[in-house]
Amino acid sequence: MIPVQGFAGQKVAVLGLGRSGLATARALVAGGAEPLLWDDSAEARGKAEAEGFTCTDLLRHGAMDGVACLITSPGIPHLYPSPNKVIARAMALGIPVDNDIGLFFRSFATEVWGDFDTAPRVVCVTGSNGKSTTTALIHHILQVAGRPTQMAGNIGRGVLDIDPPQDGEVIVLELSSYQTDLARALTPDVAVFTNLSPDHLDRHNGMGGYFAAKRRLFAEGGPDRAVIGMDEPEGQYLANQMGEGPADDRVIRISSGSKLEGFGWSVFARKGFLSEWRKGKQMASLDLRTVAGLPGAHNHQNACAAYAACRALGVAPKLIEQAFHAFAGLPHRSQLVGERGGVRFINDSKATNVDAAAKALQAFPKIRWIAGGMGKDGGIAALGPHLGSVVKAYLIGHSARDFALQLGTVPAEICETMAQAVAQAAAEAEPGEVVLLAPAAASFDQYPNFEKRGEDFTARVKALLG
C-alpha cells in the first residue's frame, strides 16, 4: 500500500467504492487521514462497512463541512455530460476534487528514497487502443530484464494498493482518459501515447475534450521521456508540442507503417520489422513476424511503444527481443484460444469500437468474423475499407441486423447468440482461416463487460475443440 501523504488529521471524502475507491480509503487511513465514504450502491456500501468503514451520505446537510478534499472514482462524471451531484456540491463549496492517480503521485516518493542507489521510476501509458497490451508488455520486458517492477492503474491493482517501491523499481501504470482528466498531480518519468480514435465522447464532450484529457499526462506531467504514436494528427501535434525540434531525443516518435528516420530518436515497424533509429543511425532491428503473442500491425504498434519505453529505461535490445518472444499476450486481445484442422480461433473481445475492430480485421488474411453487441454511433459503416479479408460475418446481439445492413456484399448470417455464432463459424471454416471475435460494439446487451463476452467465446471454442 502507498499511504497517502498530506492529509494527516484531516477529513477526506471518497465517492465511489469500487476497487480504486476502497484502495483509496485504506491508503488514506494509513496516512493518518479520516475518510468519509459514499456510494449510491447499497451493495458497495455494504462491502466498505464490512471492512470497518463508516459510510456518510455526502449530500446530507453539513456532511462536507471541514472536508479537505473529495476523491472520486474514475467512472463518475465530473463535468460532462453533467457533473455528479456530490462533485458539483464540492466544487460549489470550493473543495478540491481529485482522484487516486493524483494521490498516488503526491504520495509515491518518501524519505526512504534517500537511501536508494537508484530512485524508483514511473512509466504511464495512455491512448485509445493498445494501452493494456503495451502496459503489460513493458512490465513483462522489465521482468525478463531482471528489473523490480509492479503494474497497476487501469489494469491489475489500484495504484494506491501497490507495495512501496524498492531501490530502482519501475512502476508501470495504464491510465484511461477518465484518470488523466482529473488528477491534480501527474509526474511520470516516461509517458506513452499509443494512438487516438473516437471513444468516450459523451464523457469528454467530443474529440477535443477526449484528446485534451490524454494530453494532460504530457503537458501537466512534464515527463523526462515522451513516447508518442505518430499515426494520427493528434500524436503529431503532441510530439511537436513536447519537442524543441526534430533532433530533440526527449521525444521518441513511434509508428506502425511509417518510416521515421529524420528524428533524434524513433522506433517504427514496417513489413513486420521493428527498427530503432537515433541521431540518423539505425541502432537495432527486430523481426516481429515470428512473435506469436503480438500478431498484426496494431500489436506491432504496441511493440514499438513498449520497446521505446524500455529503451528509455536502459534495457538492451536483445533482452527486449527475448521478452517479446516470451510474451503470451493478454486475454481478450488477439488471444489465440485454440486451433483445429488448420483453423485458428482468436478472441479479441476488447475490440469494442470500430478502430480496434479494424486493426483486428487487418491482422489476418481469411476471417470468419463474429461481431455485434450494443453498437456505437455510426455502427460499422467505417469498417467498409477493412472487410476485404472477411469470408463471412456471424452477427450477434442487439445491433446484429443493423450491422448486417452495413456489410455491403460481405456474406452475413444473423446468429443472435455467441453459442450459435461459434458453432456456425466453426462448422463452415476451412483450413487457413481464422474464426475471429472482434465485436466492434459494447457488450452490455448480453454481458456485463467485454471480459465476460470473451470468456463465453473462449469456453464455447474449448468445448468444441474438446
Give the whole-angstrom CA distance, residue 66 versus residue 317.
Answer: 53
Q: Is 133 annotated as a binding residue?
A: yes
Q: Is 46 annotated as a binding residue?
A: no
Grid cell 470468456 in the structure block, residue: 455
Three state DSSP letters for 270-332: ECCEEEEEECCEEEEEEECCCCCCCCHHHHHHHHHHHHHHHHHCCCCHHHHHHHHHCCCCCCC
Give the whole-angstrom CA distance, residue 110 versus residue 133.
Answer: 30
Q: Is 131 annotated as a binding residue?
A: yes
DSSP state of 113: G
Give the whole-angstrom CA distance, residue 141 versus residue 120.
Answer: 17
Buried b (16+ CB within 10 A) or exposed e, 83-113: bbebbebbeeeebebbbbbbbbbbbbeeeee
- The answer to whether residues 78 and 72 touch, using CB atoms and an 8 Å cutoff, is yes
User: Phi first, then psi: what are they for 319, rounded to 5°?
Assistant: -70, -40
DSSP SS3 for 412: strand
Half-sphere exposure of 80 (CA within 13 A, CB side): 15
Amino acid, single-letter form, for residue 66 = G
Q: Is 129 annotated as a binding residue?
A: yes
DSSP string, 343-370: EEEEE-TT--SHHHHHHHHTS-SSEEEE
Q: Give kind and range of the element (H or E) at residue 455.
A: helix 450-465
98 closest CA partner among 25, 183, 2, 176: 183
Q: Is 449 annotated as a binding residue?
A: no
Q: Which residues are annotated as a binding site?
A: 127-133
Annotated binding-site residues for ATP read 127-133
